[in-house]
Chains A and B, each alone.
Chain A
Amino acid sequence: MPDRAIRTAVVTGCGVVSPLGVGVRAFWDGLVAGRSAIAPIERFPVADLDPRSAAEVRELDIAEDRATAFARRAADEALADAGLAPGAIDPCRLGVCLGTTLGGMELFERWIANGAVAAPDRIPYYAPAVALARGLGSRGPVATPQLACASSTQAIALAADWVRLGRADVVVAGGTDLLCRFVVSGFNSLRATAEIARPFDAARRGLVLGEGAAVVVVEDARHAERRGAAVRARIAGVGCAADAVHMTAPDREGGGAIRAIDAALADAGIPPRAVGFVSAHGTGTPYNDAMEAVALARTFGRRRVAVNSIKGAIGHTLGAAGAFEAVMCVQVLAAGVIPPTAGLETVDPACADLDLVRGAARPHDVDAVLSTSSGFAGTNAALVLARA
């Protein structure tokens, strides 16, 4: 039996392709400055869509298969940040765990419209992870978690499980998603979208979509120590739970979110008071944010914990959202600064129990942070990251 109890999963590298810029530095600087990348969509026709704003990645010129291209670029940065050349890792101990909700959807759109497409094998959801695994020469576990908007939170959680259980030494983990007509029309049809994302604001009307990829290198702490790698954060706890209430609307009591948070805290072996900051899902939809306010109030009681949402800055990046939050959380732990919630002007009285960070970035040293994600089908996932 593997010596499971003593392994620790840590983050040793981060990489992003974000609407605020390519690379962790541009992403972080944009967040701290309170910038929003939300603007009218330029890359594909939107005259018949309404609303039609989103947070696009404009720095990279990618002809097709954006989700895979984003993921490759983010993974390259994360591995370089971790000081890992792919060839230097035992391929059998190298895994890939990449969440997505759309993957090759742009190719799928072309196939449906024309009956033909250049690379039909890039359409399935597993394709970006397969492309990444082939590129890295991985011979370890490779998977694509599918938890809607909690996909990449669960991808990092599953990667941490693999490392802690001795199933891999290094896992390239995160999420990637792209903007396309399919997804914009879909959220519009649900009347879930707005022109501006205003998480936790009294005037919030809906979410604004975004795109990009965020990747972290999840590594066995002993493996990192042996090669003298800098540890950015420890993945202290992971949790996941179903609402089991409704397929699209969140549980108004926050039941699934609370169970996911409780599970992550129990896994980390810390009480809620040890958490100094919460990266909320904070989509800016009326129901989600109210549900989260209930769940966080129930978790933290009378203590007003610092909370932000980055969806006003980079939009809702769906299957990449949790991984973007994880990268932000790693920077918060390192820098002792919490980025503000772009788009938030007047806090909804229903969210008044939360100490929402808004306006300007807030200096705040924290030892442990919580990131939460929720999605369609009543799915919830949570991560606790801590200083190494």
Chain B
Amino acid sequence: MFESISQLLNESKANNISLHQLILKDESEYTHTPESKIIERLKKSLNVMKQSLEKALHSNNELPIMEASYQAKKLLSPGIFFGNSMKEAIGWAMAIAEYNSGMGLIVACPTAGSSGVLPAVLFKAKEILNKSNEDLVDALILAGAIGAIIGNQAMLSGSEGGCQAEIGVASAMAAASITYMANGSHEQISNAIALSLKNLLGLVCDPVAGLVISPCIKRNAIGVVNAFTAAEMALSGVTSIIPADEVIDAMMKVGRKLPYELKETGKGGIAGTKTAKRIKKRLFSEIE
């Protein structure tokens, strides 16, 4: 795996090899797996993502926190402020996240709680840009490498670094991969990562009653909007003053500094509100 975003981008430039090919070559060498096998496995992941979206849109999941159920479907109506397509994308992300909360089969990317962001962004970008399934695989390869770099330089879990390390990273992976899909330059990809991570820096992990439901499902929607925003900005030439690798370093430091109550313990933040405490009490008395 690559040490940093800059190492990945520089190596690709220096050797005049596309990012996905470079990552694929590295993955193949490191894991002693032929490239064709890796692509096969990526296609399997994409298929599961597709299936989870389709099943999510047709399922009637009742979640342990009842009032969090059936929210995604409300977004499948025409947009008021958003174009229909962006509204649909946030609906998709929430649908997959709801499906995950109801014990549906998903692809953790990077985590189960943030599993709606990447598929929603990738599938919507593919549709908007009219790209092929092969392009989708290439984008997914880049997303995986970006996630791994961030995981190694910082962390990939709410318990270690707050929600910035789940939805934040998912959003950065998505932003990078669609900037790539839209033929963005290496600099633009780097900017998309920096911008998306910065926007969600410091986001805490505060699940009501400790369950992956609230506010997790809805944060998948903001991860999608943030990814499209960062990619749109980067592709328009907006630059991040702080390089991506330094943003990742800042994210790691913020994550470490976040107090225990705000790292998946279900104690602080939204989980610490009056209503959340009431829900928790109700939930655990119901099932005793």
Q: Do A and B come from one complex?
A: no
- Give me the interface of B with A, judged by CB distance under 8 Å: none
